[in-house]
Amino acid sequence: MSRSVHPARRRLPAVVVAVTALLMLFLVPPGVAEARPNLPPGEPGCDPIDAAACLLPFPNDWFTKADRRTDTGRRVAFTSAMLPHGAAPESWNRNDGFSPGSMVITRVPGLDLAASGAAPVTDIGRSLSRSAPIVVLDAETGERVPYWAELDANATDPARRALLVHPARSLVPGHRYLVGLRNLRGADHRVLAAPEAFAKIAGRRLSRHDPLAARQTQLRPVLDRLDRAGVDRRDLYLAWDFTVASERNLTGGMLRMRDEAFGQLGDAAPRFTVTGVKNTTPAQDPRIAREVTGTVTVPSYLDQPGGPTGSTLNLGRDGLPRQLPGNTQTAQFRCEIPHAAFEKPSQASLYGHGLLGSNNEVGSGNVKAMANEHDLTFCATKWIGMADEDLPTVARALADIGTFGAVPDRTQQGFLNALFLGRDMIHARGFSADPAFRTDSGRPLIDIAKGLVYDGNSQGGILGGSLLAVSQDAERGVLGVTGMNYSLLLNRSSDFGPYGQILDAAHPDKLDQQVVLSLFQMLRDRGETNGYASGLDRTPLPRTPRHRVLMQVAFGDHQVTNLAAEIEARTIGARVHEPAIAAGRNPDRDPYWGIGALPRGPYRGSALVVWDSGTPAPPLTNTPPIGPEYGRDPHSDPRNSPVARLQKAEFLATGRVIDVCGGAPCTAPAG
């Protein structure tokens, strides 16, 4: 989510507005503003314990079925009647559970979280207290899950306001979780009565003829397990369970594509074509000596020849991607070779561009500066699925969730495109064998012995974690102004405004919107770090080396909430530079709770470094930091700081995280 300094990216907001207007006119059908999911609550198939909407509470194993063929033993079992506007359920029903970043969603009329003593975003540690009114329990380990709870601040109708419970670190793929809400109170501090249906289910055994008998049978083990964990069923307002999708279910399709495509390649370099070489003198550009453009040929796993916008993965009977015979894709690339490389061969680095941008962002000023200051050759290709050409597809999906699968499907193909580009950068018969990547005397401009690294910002940080998790060539990378989990990010991002208008038109009910965002995330996981974090750093994915990342974030970022980076850091075991920020700047009771401090001296591991430009802290609600009280957006400040770039360069070159801030909080000049 980046508004880079590149001219093409500065024009993007106007493009977004224009596309938004067109989509609202032509893609959102008449009357859709009054539409609700086809199946109203209380009908067969809906969960009777939450009468607010058919799919509540969410996520929920009531909407799964037993399946011995999956790693979890469950499979999602939505019907089109349950989904908004009757969307086809097949994409979701390939999941053997819900997102590891799932926010828990339900509705509790009259709830006052402060009166209930629920953990707010500023005090995550409170969620683990013995008397916490909300308990999320890992059924496999018996451990409590840290979280924060909030009421949806976007809802204007109190009767349709969602309770949102956000895990403070990703849930473990393949594990089952139990949720217990107890002793919830209203503003008058009185305990709220449980919904009638749940009260009956939690009470005496019902007759097998009772409409609630089947739900009682399914929930009895949940209530018993919560009882053993100290959550008395007599105190419960609501309880249920859900299963998180397995790691293989989340990542297996991408790994199949990678292994099959590189298996076809063997020891050869990917086929590429140089289409343009532009040389510049130091007087013309003091940083970049040569710009090279071209294309790389990549096996395409999309269902249309060449994989145009809107195409989806071609799936075999096993549900995994299959390449149609002879189907390939031409991935554009652009490389920036610094003047420094003509003195000493440079290190190869992939670059990841920002929100709905293009490979041309590699020509941004901060990237050029990084290249020449630290002798790096940066090459970029488009994140197809989330590139400029995908804007209509992304916008259409907000109006018609049944089309959303094209976004993560194309993003996975985009990962493969980047992996092939990276292989060309470090292969002896790849770029270094072409005159475009050599001096006039024939010396290579890239030192392939140094290997491949990655650097990306904003969306390039959000997707870059996924790319690194599956890369067999790049073992470390920098994730700039990063995070994960779009279902958390979107409501808190200043970028989301125009897209939110489409979502409002198609799904005007704010309670429904939160479910829609979670439905998106179940598919989105295959195309962003939220689905791959379990294989990033601590435990690598199959046939993949261990990876380490340096996460640089901008305090008070308007576009990518710092909360998303903190969740990622806890999930992958990253350490935080301390003091992370000056005293009094962070409103949290225990800033960076649950994230260990970096040890003194250089550290070889994943790290989180907070860069502060003086921007005020963001809202404590799930709303974007828009308005004068939130100051200027510091989103681009870390990458524009020479000191931050020095820290990045050391990490990329050696894998060491060094303190470039003299034992003090890191500060970046305001843009």
Angle at 547 between CA 545 and CA 552, to 5 degrees: 170
Identify whether 462 is part of a domain. Answer: no
Identify whether 520 is part of a domain. Answer: no
What burial class does residue 508 get, using C-beta atoms within 10 Å of its C-beta: 0-12 exposed, 13-18 middle, 19+ buried? middle
Cα–Cα distance, 421 to 274 (Å, whole number)? 12
pLDDT of residue 5: 35
**pLDDT tens-place string over residues 518-576:** 999 999 999 999 999 999 988 999 999 999 999 999 999 999 999 999 999 999 999 99
In DSSP notation, 216-268 reads HHHHHHHHHHHHHTT--GGGEEEEEEEEBPPHHHHHHHHHHHHHHHHHHHTTS
pLDDT of residue 77: 98
In DSSP notation, 354-375 reads -TTB-GGGGGSHHHHHHHHHHT
Identify whether 322 is part of a domain. Answer: yes
pLDDT of residue 298: 98
pLDDT of residue 30: 45
Helices 247-265 and 459-470, packing angle to 10 deg: 70
pLDDT of residue 1: 55
The answer to whether 453 and 477 are in contact (CB under 8 A) is yes
pLDDT of residue 42: 59
Identify whether 287 is part of a domain. Answer: yes
pLDDT of residue 499: 93
DSSP 603: B
**pLDDT tens-place string over residues 475-499:** 999 999 999 999 999 999 999 999 9
Cα–Cα distance, 205 to 85 (Å, whole number)? 37
Identify whether 243 is part of a domain. Answer: no
Domain count, the chain: 1
Identify whether 495 is part of a domain. Answer: no
Identify whether 251 is part of a domain. Answer: no
- Name the pTM for this structure: 0.95
pLDDT of residue 40: 56
Place of tokens 């995070």: 483
Amino acid at 264: Q
Cα–Cα distance, 480 to 441 (Å, whole number)? 36
pLDDT of residue 671: 76
Angle at 316 between CA 311 and CA 321, to 5 degrees: 55
The ranges of the chain with pLDDT < 50 are 2-13, 15, 22, 24-26, 28-38
Cα–Cα distance, 637 to 150 (Å, whole number)? 30
Cα-to-chain-centroid distance, residue 232:
36
- For residue 365, what are the domain limits? 269-450
Cα–Cα distance, 652 to 375 (Å, whole number)? 11
- Looking at 326-452, list the stretches that DSSP marks H as alpha helix, in order from N- to C-terminal side: 365-374, 391-399, 406-426
Identify whether 294 is part of a domain. Answer: yes
Cα–Cα distance, 275 to 231 (Å, whole number)? 66
Local structure of 469: helix, strand or coil: helix
